[in-house]
Every structure is written in structure tokens, then in C-alpha cells.
Amino acid sequence: MKIGIPKGLLYYDYIAVWKDFFEELGQEVIISDDSNKKILTDGVSKCIDDACLPVKLYHGHVLNLKDKVDYIFIPKIISVEKKTYQCPKILGLPAMIKQSIEGLPEILDTEINLRNRSYKTSIFELGLKFTKNIAKIKRAYNKGLQSLCDYESSFKNRSISHAIKKTINNSKGISTIMLAGHSYNLFDEVINLNLIQKLNKSNVQIITPQMLDKHTNDYLHQVKRKIFWSVGKQIVGTCFYAVENKMIDGMIYISSFGCGLDSIIIDIVSRKCERNNVPFTVLVVDEHSGEAGFNTRLEAFLDMIHWRKKDEDNISTHG
């Protein structure tokens, strides 16, 4: 059987476990093409207008797989750790896709909800669809988990992840920038208009939240209210760590227009940067984003950081 995995949203966090799990069960995994203009246009045409750019793009990836596979894997990811939730658009994703696109192959919409059942239960339920051999499912589950650990360590060691296939500049550059935001905004080149490549060319060393993940919980007590989105916790915790340990010369936050979660997280992170005199900027993207305006803002921000380093550090960090 051919199982399609759309290259969008939480693909960038969990592809290692999903791919290896299905392959160990003897299934063929087909990943949709890298994001491109056609995938985006197709996605926008099928998705509701109010959705954010990553959700629209995800619709395009589903269309890209539609006639090539027997199943499309779109899990209903409600919670990946106790007492947290995912963004409502992510937990409603399978329902939204089924509603928006007709003629799809069967959707594997396994529910992952660590608030009320274990990850293992969900994965075993999924495995039983392909084999009754419990030992085989267990092997596939363990293989998937191991791959996920390797995948996450590849970030922590600041090496290049095979799934993301990005060259992230880790050598010491002119300056070090924290690139903050959701994984799909950071690693999808259509969403972020090739931001990583642009920073690499500008000789900037890049740090992302995934690289500092083990410090996520160290600084969360500084936030008055509990953050109940797991990705929000990761972004806030790692950004606070980078700022307090003076690891970065500036921070760029990539956000999708209309993201409710970011409207809160950006406020928390930008205040932290301001208090610590760390330059901070937000680049907001949607399907109408133009490269010229984006580049101008990026260049101005990098120039400001370089001047601060070279000449005077009293240049305003916040415009």
C-alpha cells in the first residue's frame, strides 16, 4: 500500500517517526513534493479564506498526493504532552481537509491525544490497520521512536536534519540570530521566502528553538500565566534561554498572518528581548507576501545589528 504524507505543518516535527513506522510495517511512504507555487495556488483555491498560510499550503500538499496514493496520513493531533493542546487548526485538520477536498483516498486520521491516552495506544491502533502481527507493530513503533530521537538530536547537535534538507549555517558568522516561530514557518521555503538561505548568504549564524529544546522548561516560570500550547512553550522557553545566556545578537520571528497563538507568544518574547536590549523583529507572511518588501526589512534589520556590533550598541533595538 502507498501511504502519502503531506509535507507541511507537523511534518517538520514528526516525519522521522511516521516514515519509519510505516516502512517498518512494509508500506511504501510517498511524501508530497517540496512546496512550490503550484502547490500553494492549489491549496489556496481549496481552503477557506480565514485559514493561515501553512494550513492553505497543507491543502496543496494533500492535492499533490491525491491521485498517487492509497491512503493519506493526516493525524488528528490534539495534545503531544500532558496538559497541553495544539492549535485548533491543527487538531481540526483531518475534518477540515475532508470537508474542503473531494475525491480523496482514505484519510488515516489517528487521534493523538496525550491528555487521555498514550502515544503507544494510538500508534498500535494505526498499526492494526495494516497487520495483525503485534510483534511487528511493536518493532515498527520502537523503530519510529528511535528515529524521532535521532532526528531531534540532529537539531540539538546543530547538524542538518535529513528530512528538512536545509543547510543551516552553524559556523561562527558575523552575528548570531535566533530564528523563532513554528517549525513549518522556519523550514518551508515557500512560507518564509527562502529566509534560511538569505541568512546563510549574509554570513549569519542561525539558532532555532529545536536546537535548544532541552531548555524549554527552564524559564517558563518567568511567564505569569501558564502556556498551554506545546509549541508556544518551546518557543518561549528556548527564546528566553537564548536571551538570558546572551547567545544571540538579535531575534527574527516568522509568523503567519492571522495566527492567534503567535499574537500572544510574540508579545511575550518581544518584551523579553526589549528588556534585555536584544534587537527583535517580526516578519509576517501570507500568500500575498512579496519578496522585495521582505528582503528590505530583513536587510535593514541585519544592517542595524551589524552597526550595533561594529560601532555603537545604543542604536535602538525596537525602531
Where does this chain bind ligand SF4 (CB under 6 A)? 52, 54-55, 87, 89-90, 182, 256, 259-262
Give yes or no for a contact between 313 and 276, defined as CB atoms under 8 angstroms apart.
Answer: no
DSSP tag of 161: -
Instruction: Indicate the residue among 12 and 22 with the shorter CB distance to ligand SF4.
Output: 12
Taking the complex as a whole, the smallest distance from the CB of residue 53 to ligand SF4 amounts, in Å, to: 7
User: Which residue reads 536545509 in cell numbers?
Assistant: 166
Euclidean distance between CA atoms 47 and 125, whole angstroms: 30
- Work out how close the CB of 257 gets to ligand SF4 at its nearest, in angstroms, rounded to a whole number: 9
Amino acid in the structure at residue 266 = I
Least distance (Å) from ligand SF4 to the CB of residue 150? Answer: 25
Amino acid at 3: I
Q: Which single residue is written with the C-alpha cell 511534518?
A: 11
> To 5 degrees, how large is the angle CA 111–CA 112–CA 114?
135
- Give the residue with the Cβ less far from ligand SF4, 176 or 210: 210
Least Cβ distance, residue 190 to ligand SF4 (angstroms)? 14
CB of 88 to ligand SF4, least distance (A): 7
Least separation in angstroms between residue 52's CB and ligand SF4 is 3
Contact 72, 1 (CB under 8 A): no
DSSP structure class, residue 127: H
Locate 261 and state its grid cell: 497563538
In the numeric block, which cell numbers belong to residue 48?
477557506
CA distance 284 to 280: 13
Closer residue to ligand SF4, CB minimum distance, 50 or 102 = 50
Q: Which is nearer to ligand SF4, 6 or 54 (CB)?
A: 54
Contact of 54 with 96, CB cutoff 8 Å: no
Nearer to ligand SF4, 31 or 93 (CB): 93
Least distance to ligand SF4, CB of residue 173, Å: 28
- Is the CB of 76 or the CB of 89 nearer to ligand SF4? 89
Burial of 304 (0-12, 13-18, 19+ CB in 10 A): middle
Of 26 and 260, the one with the shorter C-beta distance to ligand SF4 is 260
Q: Which is nearer to ligand SF4, 122 or 256 (CB)?
A: 256
Nearest to 107 by CA among 129, 79, 75: 75
Instruction: Give yes or no for a contact between 33 and 64, defined as CB atoms under 8 angstroms apart.
Output: yes
**C-beta of residue 89 within 8 angstroms of C-beta of residue 8:** no
Are 204 and 177 a contacting pair, CB within 8 Å? Answer: yes
> Rounded to the nearest whole angstrom, what is the least distance from the CB of residue 127 to ligand SF4 in the complex?
27
